[in-house]
């Protein structure tokens, strides 16, 4: 444990950089444990690009399981997600009490198997097994019993699972409540600015430098928590005097939409299983009567684009209409959101001290950050206040092995093909032909040292050796 007073010119015990759900939850938990917290990051504005306000936010310990996940992976991830879901039962009431905001969960989740997915029946089995294996209920139903479900004639729903242990929360309301709670807390100071970097300060602590007009304050603290989502790469680049030895943080661009006056009764969220490298299509009812529609997921080389591409929005609306409800088309589109999900090469978060023990990280939550927020906040607060800290699987200094391209192609090419030729019932011979063609071409190119596009495919892969990069490989190949 580092001493909390290193002589740095500061009143804060810890600076938390980043004001998405992870930064806000962490700051609040640290303040509730009696630490003086200086929060750095945007407070006002539209927050486009931020993952948290673009999220559904499904609290989904089980329905995020994929049939292809290994049993070890399922045990680890579901265990952490169940722990996070359990924390919500005390976390939301304490936020309600601190702010007076009527924050509430909408309980339950319908997961439907449709012909729009490849092997959805198997996916439902894997989800049910995960829930039952953790002592939770997973009820099989006829799809006709799912409120709000009315897919297009081109798509048949052939199975449904009701998960009463899952829930949804309004991400905008949650962020507003956390913001209010932090403004009201006597131990919290908030600098509404972008951090540009960290440097050592006299006395052994750290200084966080901020962008803005001359005179923008610098923030000094003995320890700093980086909770900047996909902003990590830039912030580390601006902190050249520190050796943080952090693994790469990738960005999954997600687009979601908000609809009003949709003529469906939707008492609980309805979703498909995972597909197309994303969390499937989902409709989430909001307390104000609007319906949240999510979400796309594409690996993105940068987080600069703050608006949806027309084709992203078109895919989202078409797929949700076809698989879940054509009634959506009668609603009004009142808003769209773009958010970049932070994720690591092994798809697990990074939580705790980096190679420099003054700098901690809380990020890489990928598709589950809204759910994991109270859990990560607790872990970081433990690292700040306890010694020793209970072991957890998200140590940022763990070895992370990149995925190998041949195995990734073998396993994930069918998903890529589904993006071009969406399955509808029995896979067509064309899907098999296209998968074989892509397989031979990409494998051949990646192995061919002389082919100019081969070098480019390998370079693209080296930058992001994850299944989500297959789309980029294909674009590189076709270019
Ligand atoms: C479309 C979509 C749907 C999702 N659905 C779900 C879901 O249903 N359930 C679920 O659990 N999760 C969901 N997620 C994932 C979840 O939203 C993320 O895992 C989580 O929000 C990540 O939180 P974060 O605070 O790490 O990052 P962000 O929310 O992106 O916040 C990072 C913050 O850091 C700030 N920042 C960046 N750089 C700096 C800097 N240099 N200085 C100061 N501040 C900086 C940014 O402005 C931003 O506010 C979804 C994500 C998306 C995009």
Pocket probe for ligand 1: among 49, 51, 367, 379, the residue whose CB has the most ligand atoms within 8 Å is 51
**305: phi then psi, degrees, rounded to nearest 5:** -80, 120
Give the H/E segment covering residue 429.
Answer: helix 429-447
Sign of CA dihedral 397, 402, 408, 411: negative
Instruction: Give residue ranges with CB within 6 A of ligand 1.
Output: 17-23, 40-42, 47, 50-52, 54-58, 194-195, 227-229, 231, 235, 254, 256, 294-295, 339, 341-342, 363, 365-371
pLDDT the model gives residue 459: 86
331 part of a folded domain: yes
Q: Which atom of ligand 1 is nearest to the CA of 49?
A: 30
Q: Is the pLDDT of residue 129 over 80?
A: yes
Residue 8 has pLDDT above 50, yes or no: no
pLDDT at 5: 39
For residues 229 and 357, membership in a common domain is answered with: yes
3-state secondary structure of 345: coil
Residue 56, domain member (yes or no)? no
- Cα 348 to ligand 1 centre (Å): 15
pLDDT score, position 6: 36
Domain co-membership, 426 together with 318: no
225 and 351 in a single domain? The answer is: yes
| Burial call 97-126: b when 16+ CB within 10 Å, e when fewer | ebbebebeebebbbbbbbbbbbbbeebbbb
65: in domain: no
Give the residues across from 362 on adjacent strands: 351
Question: Ligand 1 centroid vs 68 CA: distance in angstroms?
Answer: 26
Q: Please tell me whether residues 37 and 159 are part of one structural domain.
A: no
Considering its fold, how many domains does the chain have in total? 3
Q: Tell me the CATH number at 334.
A: 3.30.9.10
Distance CA 103, CA 119 (A): 37
The conformation of residue 401, written as its DSSP 8-state character, comes to P
Which two structure tokens, joined as six digits, stand for 174?
A: 């949650």
448 and 307 in a single domain? The answer is no
pLDDT score, position 424? 66
How do residues 139-154 score in pLDDT, each as one tens digit? Answer: 999 999 999 999 999 8
User: Over 90: is that where the pLDDT of 432 sits?
Assistant: no
CATH code of the domain containing 370:
3.50.50.60
Measured CA to CA, the distance from residue 463 to residue 398 in angstroms comes to 19
Nearest CA to ligand 1 atom 26: 229
Tell me 248's DSSP state.
P
Same domain for 240 and 351? yes
* Rounded average pLDDT over 116-137: 95
- Whole-number pLDDT of residue 121: 95
The alpha carbon of 59 and the centre of ligand 1 are apart by a number of angstroms equal to: 15
Q: 224 is written with which tokens?
A: 């700093």
- Same domain for 277 and 426, yes or no, is no
Pocket test residue of 210, 239, 308, 367 for ligand 1, highest count of atoms within 8 A of CB:
367
Name the token pair of 30. 């640290």
* Spatial contact of 331 and 303, defined as CB atoms under 8 Å apart: no
Q: Which domain holds residue 20?
A: 14-51+173-249+347-385
In a domain, 130, yes or no: yes
């Amino acid at each position: 444990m580092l001493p909390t007073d290193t002589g740095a010119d500061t009143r804060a015990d810890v600076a938390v950089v980043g004001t998405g759900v992870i930064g806000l939850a962490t700051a609040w938990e640290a303040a509730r444990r009696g630490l003086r917290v200086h929060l750095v990051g945007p407070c006002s504005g539209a927050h486009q690009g931020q993952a948290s306000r673009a999220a559904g936010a499904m609290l989904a310990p089980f329905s995020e399981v994929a049939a292809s996940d290994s049993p070890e992976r399922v045990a680890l991830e579901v265990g952490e997600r169940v722990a996070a879901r359990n924390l919500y039962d005390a976390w939301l009431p304490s936020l309600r009490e601190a702010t007076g905001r009527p924050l509430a969960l909408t309980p339950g989740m319908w997961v439907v198997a449709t012909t729009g997915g490849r092997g959805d029946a198997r996916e439902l089995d894997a989800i049910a097994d995960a829930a039952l294996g953790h002592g939770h209920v997973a009820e099989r139903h006829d799809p006709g019993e799912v409120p709000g479900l009315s897919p297009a004639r081109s798509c048949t729903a052939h199975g449904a699972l009701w998960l009463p242990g899952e829930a949804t929360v309004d991400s905008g309301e949650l962020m507003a409540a956390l913001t209010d709670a932090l403004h009201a807390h006597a131990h919290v100071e908030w600098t509404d600015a972008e951090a540009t970097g960290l440097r050592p300060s006299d006395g052994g602590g750290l200084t966080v430098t901020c962008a803005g007009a001359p005179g923008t304050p610098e923030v000094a603290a003995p320890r700093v928590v980086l909770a900047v989502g996909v902003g990590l790469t830039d912030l580390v680049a601006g902190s050249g005097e520190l050796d943080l030895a952090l693994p790469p943080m990738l960005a999954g661009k997600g687009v979601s939409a908000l609809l009003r006056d949709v003529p469906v009764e939707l008492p609980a969220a309805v979703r498909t299983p995972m597909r197309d490298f994303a969390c499937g299509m989902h409709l989430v009812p909001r307390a104000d009567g609007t319906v949240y529609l999510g979400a796309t997921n594409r690996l993105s080389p940068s987080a600069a684009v703050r608006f949806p591409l027309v084709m992203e929005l078109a895919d989202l609306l078409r797929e949700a209409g076809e698989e879940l409800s054509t009634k959506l088309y009668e609603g009004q589109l009142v808003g769209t959101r773009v958010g970049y999900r932070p994720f690591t090469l092994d798809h697990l978060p990074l939580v705790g001290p980096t190679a420099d023990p003054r700098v901690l990280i809380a990020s890489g939550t990928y598709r589950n950050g809204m759910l994991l927020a109270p859990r990560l906040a607790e872990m970081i607060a433990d690292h700040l206040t306890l010694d020793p800290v209970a072991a957890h699987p998200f140590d940022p200094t763990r070895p992370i092995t990149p995925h190998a391209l041949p195995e990734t192609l073998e396993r994930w090419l069918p998903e890529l093909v589904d993006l071009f030729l969406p399955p509808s019932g029995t896979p067509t011979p064309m899907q098999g032909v296209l998968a074989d063609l892509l397989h031979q071409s990409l494998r051949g190119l990646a192995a061919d040292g002389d082919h100019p596009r081969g070098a480019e495919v390998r370079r693209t892969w080296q930058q992001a050796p994850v299944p989500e990069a297959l789309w980029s490989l294909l674009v590189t190949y076709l270019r």
